[in-house]
Amino acid sequence: MAISEHPSKLSLPQTNPGVATVLEYLIIKFPYIDAQIWRQRIADGKVHCHDGSLITTQSLFQPQQRVYYYREVESEPSIPFKETIIFQDQHILVAYKPHFLAVIPGGIYVNECLQNRLRRSTGIEALQALHRLDRVTAGLVIFSVNPDTRHQYHQLFKTRQIHKTYQAIAKISDGANLIGQEWDIKNRIVQSEQRFRMRVTEGEANSHSVIRCIQQSAQEALFELNPVTGKTHQLRVHMQALGWPILNDKYYPQLQPLSADNYSAPLQLLAKELQFIDPVTQHPRSFSYDSNLSLK
């Protein structure tokens, strides 16, 4: 059994969904976790309030109450790739995340994620990711070091003041001449029947990416991708919409059967560069990571 070293936080909704206790809410909030597991966690003192007082099976639901709990999984895989710290000062830390490593706890991963690895290696318990990358995507992630200035960096992402550059490799048709071409993709992305996949639908655009081809071989091309918006799986869906799904994508264009990670065939998508004006120092910041994507 793997138990998270750090608690997960949940804020109870303003509107009561028709429950009397915190336990009842947890049961309906997490339908894939057996009710008896929540009862056992509570009995073991693994669910508590913001002030550290324990939640009991009789604790009443209170709107916007913060509840903390410790995630558990039967077996947690170990990801055999190493992260790298690119930059660190008293406000932020920028790190390279390898393929297959989650940014924060999720699913079968509770301790084996970038945030917890960095907390252990730096000793900074307050370290918190300011944004996310898909577990299968590699690249740069910014973390807040100082809780007092965290909101200023969150605001950068909220107001889209961070310029992000990605790179991706896709298979192309023989004879295609794509170098130098650019595509401005705007469409509406919504959740598909499988809640973990997205799809393009009719309606007002809610996603925007600029994609250009910067290199190609006989059967593959290297693309530079600049997301203007930040919808889930946006770049993967936009590359598919162009007819060039990203190499080794197990979700697009077709969902592949569930299988263990193939460490020799990572998704060929890299969050390569981040640029912004630092809200604390007002100095321009630019961080990049040398591409580990290469054409065949």
Based on its alpha-carbon atoms, the radius of gyration of the chain, rounded to whole angstroms, reads 21
pLDDT (0 to 100) of residue 279:
97
CATH fourth-level superfamily of 164-270: Pseudouridine synthase (3.30.2350.10)
Q: Among residues 146, 134, 137, which one has the least CA distance to residue 106?
A: 134
Beta-bridge partners for 92: 144
More confident residue, 292 or 252: 252
Each residue's pLDDT tens digit, 29-47: 988 788 999 999 999 999 9
3-state secondary structure of 187: strand
Can you say whether the dihedral through the CA atoms of 35, 109, 233, 197 is positive or negative? Answer: negative
Contacts of 104 (CB under 8 A, 6+ apart): 113, 114, 115, 129, 132
Q: Given a cut of 80, is residue 169 above it in pLDDT?
A: yes
Contacts of 275 (CB under 8 A, 6+ apart): 162, 163, 165, 284, 285, 286, 287
Decide: 173 and 196 in contact? Cβ < 8 Å: no
pLDDT (0 to 100) of residue 293:
81
Query: What's the mean pLDDT in 46-60?
Result: 94
pLDDT (0 to 100) of residue 200:
94
Residue linked to tokens 């560069």: 273
Separation between Cα atoms, residue 279 and residue 296, nearest integer Å: 41
Share of the chain above pLDDT 70, in %: 100
Query: What's the mean pLDDT in 279-295?
Result: 91
Predicted confidence band at 284 (pLDDT cuts at 50, 70, 90)?
Answer: very high
Q: What's domain 84-161's architecture?
A: 2-Layer Sandwich (3.30)
Q: 84-161: same fold as 2-73?
A: no
- Strands (E) across 192-242 are located at 198-201, 207-216, 220-227
Predicted confidence band at 79 (pLDDT cuts at 50, 70, 90)?
Answer: very high
Separation between Cα atoms, residue 249 and residue 66, nearest integer Å: 37
Query: What's the mean pLDDT in 135-157?
Result: 97
pLDDT (0 to 100) of residue 157:
94
Query: What's the mean pLDDT in 59-81?
Result: 91
Q: Given a cut of 80, is residue 211 above it in pLDDT?
A: yes
Domain range list for the chain: 2-73, 84-161, 164-270
Query: What's the mean pLDDT in 266-280?
Result: 97
pLDDT (0 to 100) of residue 176:
83
Contacts of 123 (CB under 8 A, 6+ apart): none
Which CATH class name applies to 2-73? alpha beta
Beta-bridge partners for 185: 209
Q: Given a cut of 80, is residue 292 above it in pLDDT?
A: no
Query: What's the mean pLDDT in 102-107?
Result: 90
Residue linked to tokens 């203007």: 228
Read off the tokens for 126.
């307050």
Decide: 114 and 127 in contact? Cβ < 8 Å: no
